[in-house]
Structure 1
Amino acid sequence: MTPLTLFLAKLIGAYALIMSAWMLVRRDVALQMIESVSREPVAIAFVGMMRLVIGLAIVIGHDIWSDTAAALVSLIGWITLISGFLTLFLPPQTVRDIFSRMAYEKRYPVFALISFALGGALLIAGFSA
């Protein structure tokens, strides 16, 4: 594993683990934040910009598919880049509709637990190499 893969696995893993734990502990605040952001076109654009820049940084710096951890980091980069691009260029109502179809509030624990598992796996990969 390259030093960059190790760094990104630790960074993304820690972020995912911390945020998913926060989501599970502070569900009310997280859902309120998501609802508030999804109603504001400027906030949607800002989220799209942040996703785009983070995705670009990962894809430009780490488009490596040589092992499982590297491929996972690269996949996260591509997903982040594509979602940022779509968030910026789709009409805000379309973004809200997509979010609504995800039934986020209903499936909230599933999203949080997937993030928790992904974060844990990346942290283990990053610190055990």
Structure 2
Amino acid sequence: MREPSWRQEGEEPDYRFSLANERTFLAWVRTALALLAGGVVLEQFSTEIGPHDVIVVLAVALSVISAVLSVIAFVRWRANEIAMRHGRRLPTTVAIPLLSAVVLAVAAVIAVLLAVH
């Protein structure tokens, strides 16, 4: 497999930092998988929780968020690797507050559905 061109730029970072960056990437992927699993579970129990259409929309939303989060995880991992290679500060992200807000909103909707059911 051909190495991407950005891996040939700058200096090779300390492997401990690269491994820490990889663990962070994997944590983001685990979060994406958990959101996807939540969407599947919601769809499976949609008839028992509340209005089927609302539950299906939530399940699809969780699946889409999962896919977007997977892409964000890779983009963050790559940006961090490039920053470390060039001795720059790690880039900031809006992904963390955005993910928190979205999960809060979905959890609130599910809580309301469960309360009225």
| TM-score category of the 2 structures, normalised to the smaller one | 0.3 to 0.5
TM-score (norm 1): 0.41
TM-score (norm 2): 0.44
Structure with greater contact order relative to length (CA < 8 Å, sep ≥ 6): 1
Q: Which of the two has higher C-alpha Rg?
A: 2
Q: Which has the higher helix share?
A: 1
